[in-house]
Structure 1
Amino acid sequence: MKLVIPGTLPTMNEIINISKRSKYAYRDLKEYYDNVVAWHAKAQHIAPVERANFIITWVCPDRLHNKDNIAAGIKFIFDGLQKAGILSNDGWKEIADFSHRFEVDKTNPRIEIEILEAS
């Protein structure tokens, strides 16, 4: 299965900066992006899995951010998949493994998430 999320997710630096704004800023940011991921998962009819490997391809609009900074968005991905009922949890039992890939597409930034059932 492949889930595609158009656009980008907040980078680690953006998350840190937003967290400094107010007591509830990170909570609101996280809820918003968890919901974005959940909505796309439901709209794309992603089936629930008990345990899976994930290949996450971050298709960025440019090379301005470091890869580790970009990959911080994985938190929104796994929590959004839980919210959508795709994953029951995001622990060791449910997430067998994950890997990151990075590409650039100035006109169509997105996150492509391959979900491969694991035993």
Structure 2
Amino acid sequence: MRLIIPFSLPGLNEYIEAERGHRQKGAKLKRDCQTSVIIALRRQIRTPLREPVFMRYLWVEKNRRRDKDNISSFGRKVIQDALVKMGVLRNDGWENIEGFSDSFAVDKGKPRIEIEIEEPGKKP
């Protein structure tokens, strides 16, 4: 299954900065990002996945200014929590997510996040 989030998410540095400013500001940033991800994915996936899944992320950025770990760390957390909240995954623990991989690309005009989810017994 292939999913596309048609925008980029804040990085880990932005989340840490918000947390340091005020703990509720960090929580609001995560909640707002999670809501945006749910809206973007709602039309693309409606049924629960067979677990454990393997997730391949392609982080497409508008430029190379942000570090790769800054891009993916906070983003994976937001996306996986959104999938749990949607009821697509039961949880985001060891029994539910076998693993994940990250790849990166640049597209100045169309930053996005592409996710391939492989379910047991199915090819992406």
TM over 0.5: yes
- The corresponding residue for 1:23 is 23
- The corresponding residue for 1:96 is 98
2:77 is aligned, of 75, 78, 90, to 75
Q: Deviations for 1:19-48, whole angstroms, at most 9, x for unmatched residues?
A: 122230111111111111222221223532
Shift of 1:118: 2.2
Identity of aligned residues (%): 40
- C-alpha RMSD of matched pairs (Å): 1.2
- The corresponding residue for 1:38 is 38
Scaled by the length of structure 1, the TM-score of the pair is 0.94
| Alignment coverage as a number of residue pairs | 119
Runs of 4+ in 1 over 4 A off after TM superposition: none
The unaligned stretches of length 5 or more in structure 2 are none
CA distance in 1, matches of 2:18, 2:70: 14
Q: Deviations for 1:39-88, whole angstroms, at most 9, x for unmatched residues?
A: 22212235321311000000000000110111111100100111111111
CA distance in 1, matches of 2:111, 2:105: 9
Paired letter, 1:44? Q
Q: 1:57 to 1:46 in 2, by over 3 A?
A: farther
CA distance in 2, matches of 1:118, 1:9: 28
